[in-house]
């Protein structure tokens, strides 16, 4: 038996189990990404908050650059550094979306 999950259900599940993993904007970005993946593949996702938190993350571009050793010139402005991180995530095939202050991405 499957149940349709709306964004409010999705957000509530995260609030109950992992309230600090994503911002509301990050959850909306992830929800829309997962819905699009379901449409593209024809496979339904099971709402497993723990598994989603293991597979996906939301972080600032600076933290992502540090975690994945993405080099950027500290003399560049933030927009240039952020663009380098976005390009890296896209090239790695892990980019989910952009939110204020950072990105949602599939961890690798």
Mean pLDDT of 13-24: 97
Mean pLDDT of 10-27: 97
pTM of the model: 0.91
Instruction: Give the largest Cα separation in the chain, rounded.
Output: 55
- Residue 16 is assigned to a structural domain of this protein: yes
- Residue 2 is assigned to a structural domain of this protein: no
Identify the domain containing residue 97 by its residue range. 7-106
Mean pLDDT of 7-11: 97
**CA 68 – CA 88 distance, rounded (Å):** 9
**CA 34 – CA 50 distance, rounded (Å):** 15
The domain total for the chain is: 1
- Residue 95 is assigned to a structural domain of this protein: yes
| Percent with pLDDT over 70 in the chain | 99
- Residue 43 is assigned to a structural domain of this protein: yes
- Residue 1 is assigned to a structural domain of this protein: no
CB-neighbour burial class of residue 8 (10 A; exposed 0-12, middle 13-18, buried 19+): exposed
Mean pLDDT of 71-75: 78
For the CA atoms of 86, 88, 93, 96, the dihedral, rounded to the nearest 10 degrees, stands at -20
Q: Output 48 or 1, whichever has higher pLDDT.
A: 48
Question: 1 pLDDT exceeds 70?
Answer: no
- Residue 39 is assigned to a structural domain of this protein: yes
């Amino acid at each position: 038996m499957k149940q349709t999950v709306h964004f409010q259900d999705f957000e509530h599940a995260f609030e109950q189990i992992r309230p600090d993993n994503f911002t509301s904007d990050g959850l909306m970005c992830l929800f829309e990404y997962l819905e699009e993946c379901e449409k593209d593949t024809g496979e339904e996702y099971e709402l497993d908050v723990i598994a989603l938190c293991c597979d996906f993350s939301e972080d600032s571009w600076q933290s992502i650059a540090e975690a994945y050793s993405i080099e950027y010139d500290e003399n560049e402005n933030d927009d240039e550094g952020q663009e380098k991180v976005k390009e890296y995530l896209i090239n790695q095939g892990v980019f989910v979306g952009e939110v204020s202050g950072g990105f949602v991405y599939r961890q690798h």
